[in-house]
Chain A
């Protein structure tokens, strides 16, 4: 079974704090993704990575950065959290695109509240 885990299910932080969200996958997937989910907006891609130390901006990268030092781990960083970053954050992983195995598999999500 594919397993994608996220470090916290719920997180409460204060405005201006630096926040780290961690994601680990155990399927040796090359690709990893960070999304945020907001009511009425569906899932929006923040960043993705197709290899160690490689990253690509998604649709809404502003206010976020990422780190991928090891293949199995992909971190999302909020340098200075703001209230409009209160959201559900979902991590996903997949094999490279183009084949039947490129389906993205998701973690359980981290619900972040910024006060």
Chain B
């Protein structure tokens, strides 16, 4: 069965610290897609990244980076030099090739960055 686990319910850091949000997924499909979304206090989910299962290259976008490891079924998200504006709930999600219209979400990790 497909499942996404975000074991960290809440993380608090001080500005400029690096922080990693963990995401572990389960799927029987060999082709699947992984996503990260950010939900700031305003409520809207903001799309951050989409990766397919055949592309294990790590990705960096500014202060954000993602580490995709199929061997451990993980797709972790690191924020370097965190800022107060990074405070939000972050969701990891999975969709499978046989049913890519359906997104399976983790329960989210609330990140609080203090000045």
Q: Which residues of A contact B (CB under 8 A)?
A: 9, 31, 40-45, 48, 50, 58, 88, 90, 92, 94, 96-98, 100, 102-109, 111
Contacts of B45 in A (CB 8 A): 90, 92, 106
Subset of 19 A-B contacts with CB under 8 Å: A40-B9, A42-B91, A43-B103, A45-B102, A50-B101, A90-B43, A96-B101, A97-B100, A98-B97, A100-B50, A103-B50, A104-B47, A104-B103, A106-B44, A106-B45, A106-B46, A107-B44, A109-B44, A111-B43
Q: How far is the CA of A115 from the CA of B46 in the complex (A)?
A: 30
* Inter-chain contacts of B47 with A (CB < 8 A): 103-106
Minimum CB–CB distance for B36 against chain A, Å: 11
Number of A-B contacts (CB under 8 A): 54
Contacts A42-B105, A88-B43, A105-B47 known; list 11 others, CB within 8 Å: A9-B43, A31-B101, A40-B9, A42-B91, A42-B106, A50-B101, A58-B102, A98-B97, A98-B100, A102-B101, A107-B44
